[in-house]
Amino acid sequence: MLQSERQLKHQRVVKLLDELNLDTVVLRKSPNTAWFSGSRVHVPNSLDSSCFDIVLSRDGYYFHTNNIEAPRLRAEELLVDDDLRSHPWWISRDSLLPKGKGVGSDIKEADREYIPQLDLLRMSVCPDEINRLDKIATDSAAALFSLAPKIKPTQTELQVAGLITSALWEHELETVFLGVAGIDRVNKFRHPLPTNSTIGTQLSVSICARRKGLIVSTTRIFSFEKISSERSQEYVRLLNVEAALLEHTQSGKLLSDAFKAGASEYANQGFASNEWHHHHQGGTTGYLPRELVANADTHIEILDNQAFAWNPTASGLKAESTWIANKFEVKQLGSDLNWPHISVANRLRPNILEIL
C-alpha cells in the first residue's frame, strides 16, 4: 500500500466524521481494518475482529494492538511511519480505546456509537486496489492451471483440495473458501466442500483467494473425458446467463436490475425459469467474498470502480470470475494465457479444460 492510498482512505473517513458530527471512529472489523491498513489482520482467521484496532480522527490515525502482535505488524504489515501503539496482552484492548460522546465504531458496543456507514467506505476500490485485485486474479488462475498435470480422476476431492491449497500458498494466497466437487457430487450441491468422494470424469473447483485483505473469486472446470457437444452447448448457455448479468453491471445502474437480467436469462437459455432459486448469483466483492449478495430487492446503485463476482450455476456447471465495474464497462480482472477460452458476448471466458 502506498501512502497516497492511505491518505485517500483517511479523507473518506474524515468526510464521514463531518457528516455525522463525530470526533473519532474506531475500526475493529477485519474487512475494515484490512481495507485501511492493506495488511493481514487475522489471528486466527476465524474471528470477525482483527488483531489490532485503528483509531481515526480529523488530525490523523494510529494502530493499537497487544505486545504479541506489535513486532510482526511493525516489521511485516504496516507502513514504516505508521503510529503503532501496544499494551501487555493481559490487559483489555477495548479499555484503552476512545469511547463516549463523539466516538463511533464499526461494531455494536457499549460507549461507542455504531456507524454502519463505515462499511460503505470500502465499496469503491481505488486504482492501487484494482491493480492488486488484478494480480490476485492472475495468480489465482495460475495456481489452478498448475493443477492440470497433478490431478487424476482416481484422486479424492480432499486430495485435490490439498493440492489447491498448496498451489495457492505458493502464490502467497490464503484460502477463504474452497469448493471441490467430482462427478458424483457436482450436480447435488452448489457449495461442495471437499470430501473423500472420488473425482471421476469431472472436477469443479471454486476458490475465494485472499492477499492482504483483498479477495478474488474464481471457478474452473476440468474434464477427464472428451466433452460432448451437448455439454459444451450447455456451458455456453450458462455463460450467456453470466453475460446478461455483466451487461447490466455498470456504475449508475441498480444492482437489482443486473440480478433480474441474469435470473430471467435462465429461461431464455433453455434452463428452468426458477434455476436461480437453487443458488445465489453472486454480487459485490472486495474485502469479503461477497460484500453484498444481489437479489431482486437490492435497489442499490452500482458504484464506480466497484468489484463484482457473479456466479451463475446450472447442471453441475458454474461460471465465476472477478470484475470491476465503471460507467463505461465491466472489466474482467486477471489474465490466464494458459487456460482454454471461449468467446461469449464478445468476452473471452474460461472454457472447460480437457485432461485426456
**pLDDT tens profile 46-91:** 667 899 999 999 999 999 999 999 999 999 999 999 999 999 999 9
Residue 327 confidence (pLDDT): 87
Averaged over 301-324, what is the pLDDT? 97
| Ordered DSSP codes for 7-40 | HHHHHHHHHHHHHHT-SEEEEEEHHHHHHHH-S-
**Statement: the pTM of the whole predicted model exceeds 0.85:** yes
- C-alpha cell read off for 149: 498435470
Residue 278 confidence (pLDDT): 96
What is the three-class DSSP state of 280? coil
- C-alpha cell read off for 183: 462427478
User: Is the pLDDT reported for residue 298 higher than 80?
Assistant: yes
Query: Would you say the C-alpha torsion 147, 169, 186, 215 has a positive or negative sign?
Result: negative
> 109-133: buried (b, 16+ CB within 10 Å) or exposed (e) per residue?
eeebbebeebbebbbbbbeebbebb
User: Is the pLDDT reported for residue 125 higher than 90?
Assistant: yes
Phi/psi for 129 (5° steps) reads: -70, -40
Residue 2 confidence (pLDDT): 80
Averaged over 325-339, what is the pLDDT? 92
Alpha carbons 7 and 25: distance in angstroms, whole number: 16
Residue 43 confidence (pLDDT): 84
Domains plus CATH for the chain? 3-122 (3.40.350.10), 127-354 (3.90.230.10)
Name the band, by pLDDT with cuts 50, 70 and 90, for residue 328.
confident
Give burial (CB, 10 Å; 0-12/13-18/19+) of 38. buried
**pLDDT tens profile 220-247:** 999 999 999 999 999 999 999 999 999 9
User: Is the pLDDT reported for residue 187 higher than 80?
Assistant: yes
Residue 49 confidence (pLDDT): 81
Q: What share of the chain is helix, strand, coil (3-state, %, to 5)?
A: 30, 25, 40
Residue 10 confidence (pLDDT): 97
User: Is the pLDDT reported for residue 45 higher than 90?
Assistant: no
% of the chain with per-residue pLDDT over 70: 99
Residue 251 confidence (pLDDT): 95
User: Is the pLDDT reported for residue 302 higher than 90?
Assistant: yes
- C-alpha cell read off for 114: 455504531
